[in-house]
Structure formats: structure tokens, C-alpha cells
């Protein structure tokens, strides 16, 4: 059940469900009636969101773990809750500073002009979340939207129903619908949601659905932020400590069972060191994941569709001649359809006709490619859709700068998984196929803000029109 929301299609046109329309109208009316909220009101909304999450942390973690089937409670707490609250705390601490008008032309020649840029809320923001971090990826943008003075409606993923239903119920109990509302449901609800005349749409999900969101928003001229995915490359530089790099890449691939938008997808290793690298990766996996089936913390694929998609990618690669190395030391029978578990898997000898070479893997599978010269790496990355992040492992600064200076990716992380997300002040977002716009820290505040120029004068002559209307030729002397 999707919070009583049903949509219907007539001649291919989505007829909005009354619930969605009603919530949007309610929020917009309240937004316009109340005026732009003070810093105190904004912080209070963020505080209530944080309190809601903290007071119900155990239940939320239980819901997320149950949606996945098998997943670590500790890792869920760390990524979904602790990992969200740090960023939210930074945003909360800066609300007053970021919302201050910025004075322009201070001490300029036109002393009779007062000019400022006033950060202005947009109004009602719609947020659409994916299933892989169902809580983190909606509360972080919601807090940024609150900081910027907006009202928020969230549409959560149907793939994690326990989490979505629990969060929707918690929000309904603690927030007035005019401030924050959560709706749940699948593709139909998503389609109806994204065609509403919001003041901004913030979407996290796949590039394919991102295109639909952009198209649905276009008739209403709704500005859109897209946080998408893609195939993230990892480059192991020519003179790199292979064991150290292999360990970090192997473990980065396994976070959340490989179901992270910033997971390494394929790794490019100097040809002469590929075997050494492959051995180190599989040794790390065998050591850290001695059992898979019997381990209740080893992440499952979230549902049958994703399990079948990832196993089909492996099967297709194997059938077309790739070398598939499965790291399951105790002879467990894997993959296992019942638990949806796939052992850590390294695939090498990949050619472009294999699906795994084209599609974002989003599972516990790493592709190994080789190169002879760094120019091949740059060309390979640049010939493909721009990824969300590129990883670089190696100490050589010149090689690293050359790579960064000649490729286009959402972010770059060097020598560690996900480290580009660590500074609370670093903008996070994709470019090209991996998305448009950014958030985290000030970037999040700016995404949900209109920078409005407000300029006035008490000069005795018309500054802008006097030279453009009769009598022509009268150019005011400004000094």
C-alpha cells in the first residue's frame, strides 16, 4: 500500500492522485502565508528531523536490515544514521551564516546604489530517493532544503518498503504535513510525483530514470538536481604498492554488497602487475569474508530483480570468454538465489561486447582491466559516459595530476574508498551521465536557494535609463 496513493493514466497522461496535489497545495499555501522562515525556524525543523531519526534509530536500522534480508546492523547505523548526522550538523551550524544577504558594491563609485544578493527559499521541494541507502539519501537533502527555508515532500523507494513505511509514519507523527510529508509507492507514484509543479526536484537514482524525471519536470519548468550513478573507474598508477591498493579497492567494492553509487566498478592495472593485483584482491576477500551464506552480516542483493541482474552479468561475461574468479573459500554453493547472496567476484579478460563492460554492476563484482600506458587509461575513461567518481591509487603526483587534468568525473578520490565524501564542505554530485547539480555543505544550501539580486537607488538621476531614452547624448557623470 502506498499511503493511499493511486494514480491512473488516461491517454498516456498521468492524472495526479489527489493526495499528491493536496500536499503540494497545502505546503505552497503555508510557505507563502508564513513568509520566509527565520534561522530559528529552519534549525528547529532540522532538529526535529534529527531527533526523529535518533529516537527511532534502532527501529530504522531494523527496518533497513529487514528490507535487505542480510546486512550488518553496525554498518547500517554507521552509513545511514551517523554518516547522515555529521553532514546535517554542519548544515545546521551554518544556517544563519549562509542565509545572510551579501552586500555588493561596497565603497564603489556608485555610492547612491545599494545592492545585495539575498538567499531566498525556493518554496516546495520534492525529493525522490533510491533503495540503496533509503534513509541517508532522503534526510540529507531534506535537511539542506530546510536550511534554505523550504518545505519538503519526499517520495521513498518501493524496493525498501519496511524502511519507507516506517519513516513515513514517523514523519507523519512528528511533522505537520505542511512542513514535511513522505509518500511511498513505485514507478506510477514516482511518475505522478515528478510531474507535479514543485519549485525544485531533487532525484537520486539511475541515469535511465533520471532522464524521465527531467522530461516530467520540463513542462512545468521545474529545476532539477540529478544524483545518478555509472561505472566508476579505479586506476592503479604505474609505481604503486599493489598489496595496499588491492586491499582498499577490494574492500571498497564490497561496501553494502557493492550496492553503492560510489563503489569501484572497474579497475585499470599496469599489465605487468595484473596477476599480482588479482591475487591480492582475492586474498583480501577470502580473508575478510571467510563465509558468505552463513554470515548474517554479509549483504544480500536487495531483491530478486537485482540478484538476477548481477548474476546474469557474470554469466554473460563467462559465456563470452571472461575469466571469473569467485572468492568463496569454504566451498559454499554460490550464488544463492534464496538468500540473494553473491560471493565477491573478480572478472578479467573483459571485452566490450559483454554486458558487464557497459552496465553499472551495483553488486559484489569487480572488473579487472589492464593498460600499458597512462594515455590508454585517459582515453578509455573519456570515451565512456562521465562517472560519478574516479579513484586513483598511487604516490606519483605527476601521473595523478595528468589523470585529473584530462578526465571528467563527478569527483576524484585518491588512495581510499569514498574519501571525497569526507569533508562536510565538499560539494557532492555528478557530471554528464552521472548527474547535474550538487549538494552536501554549502552546495546543498545553494541548490535549494535562489540568489536574488535586490538593488535600489536614491541617486537624483536615472542610472540605467538616462542614456537610453530622449534626450539622447546625456551621459550622467558619475563622479
Please identify every residue annotated as catalytic: 227
Residue 70 Cα distances to 60, 159, 279, 457, angstroms: 15, 15, 27, 65
Residue whose CB is less far from ligand NAD, 212 or 450: 212
Q: Which residues contact 273 (CB under 8 A, 6 or more apart)?
A: 236, 242
Cis peptide before 471 (omega within 30 of 0): yes
Smallest separation (angstroms) from ligand NAD to the CB of 263:
8
Rounded least distance, CB 384 to ligand NAD, Å: 15
Residues in the chain, how many? 479
CA distances from 317 to 312, 332, 349 (A): 8, 22, 9
Q: Which helix (H) or strand (E) holds 314?
A: helix 304-319
User: Given the complex with ligand NAD, which of 131 and 445 has the nearer CB atom?
Assistant: 131
CB of 407 to ligand NAD, least distance (A): 18
Sign of CA dihedral 130, 136, 138, 144: negative
State which residue, 135 or 209, has the beta carbon closest to ligand NAD.
209
Q: Residue 164 and residue 141: Cα distance in Å, rounded?
A: 16
Interface positions with ligand NAD (CB under 6 A): 128-132, 137, 155, 157-159, 186-187, 190-191, 194, 204-206, 209, 212-213, 227-229, 261, 360, 362, 388, 430, 435
Whether the Cβ atoms of residue 364 and residue 324 lie closer than 8 Å to each other: no
Sign of the dihedral through C-alpha 308, 313, 318, 319: positive
Contact 230, 434 (CB under 8 A): yes
Pick between residue 88 and residue 159 the one whose CB is nearest to ligand NAD: 159
- What's the min distance (Å) between Cβ of 394 and ligand NAD? 25
Q: CB of 20: closest distance to ligand NAD in angstroms?
A: 12
Please state at what angle helix 83-99 crosses helix 39-55, rounded to 10 degrees.
Answer: 170
> Which of 216/269 has CB closer to ligand NAD?
216
Q: How many CB atoms lie within 10 A of CB 20?
A: 23
User: What is 231-269 written as a DSSP string?
Assistant: --EEEE-TT--HHHHHHHHHHHHHGGGG--TTS--EEEE
Separation between Cα atoms, residue 410 and residue 208, nearest integer Å? 17
Please give the Cα distance from 423 to 427 (Å, whole number). Answer: 9
Burial class (CB in 10 A: 0-12, 13-18, 19+), 238: middle
Of 123 and 410, CB closest to ligand NAD: 410
Q: Which residue has the cell 532540522?
A: 46
* Shortest Å distance, C-beta 331 to ligand NAD: 32
Nearest approach in angstroms of CB 12 to ligand NAD is 13
The residue assigned the cell 563492460 is 357
User: Min. distance of Cβ 191 from ligand NAD in angstroms?
Assistant: 4
Q: Which residue is nearest to ligand NAD (CB)?
A: 229
Which residues, 6 or more positions from 445, have their beta carbon under 8 angstroms from its beta carbon? 91, 94, 98, 119, 144, 147, 148
Least distance from C-beta 260 to ligand NAD, angstroms? 7
Cell 560519478, residue located: 388
Question: With respect to ligand NAD, which residue has the nearer C-beta, 99 or 159?
Answer: 159
Amino acid at each position: 500500500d502506498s499511503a493511499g496513493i493511486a494514480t491512473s493514466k488516461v491517454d498516456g497522461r498521468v492524472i495526479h492522485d489527489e493526495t499528491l496535489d493536496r500536499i503540494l497545495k497545502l505546503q505552497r499555501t503555508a510557505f507563502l502565508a508564513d513568509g520566509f522562515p527565520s534561522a530559528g525556524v529552519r534549525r528547529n525543523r532540522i532538529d526535529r528531523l534529527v531527533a526523529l531519526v535518533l529516537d527511532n534509530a534502532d527501529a530504522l536500522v531494523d527496518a533497513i536490515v529487514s528490507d535487505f534480508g542480510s546486512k550488518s546492523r553496525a554498518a547500517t547505523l554507521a552509513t545511514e544514521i551517523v554518516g547522515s548526522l555529521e553532514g546535517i550538523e554542519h548544515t545546521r551550524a551554518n544556517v544563519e551564516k549562509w542565509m545572510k544577504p551579501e552586500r555588493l558594491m561596497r565603497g564603489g563609485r556608485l555610492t547612491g546604489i545599494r545592492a545585495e544578493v539575498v538567499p531566498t527559499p525556493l518554496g516546495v521541494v520534492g525529493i525522490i530517493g533510491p533503495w540503496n541507502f533509503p534513509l541517508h539519501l532522503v534526510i540529507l537533502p531534506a535537511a539542506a532544503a530546510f536550511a534554505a527555508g523550504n518545505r519538503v515532500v519526499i517520495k521513498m523507494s518501493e524496493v525498501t518498503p519496511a524502511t519507507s513505511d516506517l519513516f513515513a509514519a514517523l514523519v507523519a507523527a512528528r511533522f505537520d504535513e505542511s512542513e514535511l510529508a513522505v509518500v511511498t509507492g513505485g514507478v506510477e507514484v514516482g511518475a505522478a510525483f515528478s510531474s507535479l509543479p514543485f519549485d525544485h526536484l531533487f532525484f537520486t537514482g539511475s541515469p535511465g530514470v533520471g532522464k524521465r524525471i527531467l522530461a516530467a519536470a520540463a513542462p512545468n519548468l521545474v529545476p532539477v538536481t540529478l544524483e545518478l550513478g555509472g561505472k566508476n573507474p579505479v586506476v592503479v598508477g604505474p609505481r604503486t604498492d599493489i598489496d595496499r591498493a588491492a586491499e582498499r579497492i577490494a574492500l571498497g567494492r564490497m561496501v553494502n554488497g557493492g550496492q553503492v553509487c560510489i563503489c569501484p566498478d572497474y579497475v585499470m592495472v599496469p599489465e605487468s602487475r595484473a596477476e599480482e593485483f588479482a591475487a591480492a584482491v582475492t586474498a583480501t576477500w577470502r580473508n575478510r569474508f571467510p563465509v558468505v551464506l552463513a554470515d548474517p552480516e554479509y549483504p544480500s542483493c536487495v531483491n530478486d530483480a537485482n540478484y538476477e541482474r548481477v548474476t546474469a552479468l557474470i554469466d554473460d561475461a563467462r559465456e563470452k570468454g571472461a575469466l571469473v574468479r569467485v572468492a568463496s573459500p569454504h566451498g559454499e554453493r554460490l550464488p544463492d538465489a534464496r538468500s540473494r547472496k553473491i560471493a565477491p567476484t573478480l572478472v578479467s579478460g573483459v571485452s566490450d561486447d559483454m554486458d558487464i563492460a557497459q552496465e553499472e554492476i551495483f553488486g559484489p563484482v569487480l572488473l579487472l582491466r589492464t593498460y600499458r600506458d597512462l594515455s590508454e587509461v585517459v582515453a578509455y575513461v573519456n570515451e565512456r559516459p562521465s562517472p560519478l567518481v574516479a579513484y586513483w591509487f598511487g604516490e606519483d603526483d605527476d601521473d595523478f595530476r595528468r589523470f585529473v587534468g584530462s578526465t571528467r568525473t563527478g569527483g576524484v578520490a585518491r588512495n581510499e574508498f569514498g574519501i571525497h565524501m569526507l569533508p562536510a564542505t565538499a560539494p557532492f554530485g555528478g557530471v554528464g551521465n552521472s548527474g547535474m547539480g550538487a549538494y552536501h555543505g554549502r552546495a546543498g544550501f545553494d541548490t535549494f536557494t535562489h540568489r536574488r539580486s535586490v538593488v535600489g537607488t536614491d541617486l537624483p538621476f536615472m542610472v540605467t535609463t538616462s542614456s537610453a531614452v530622449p534626450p539622447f547624448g546625456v551621459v550622467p557623470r558619475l563622479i
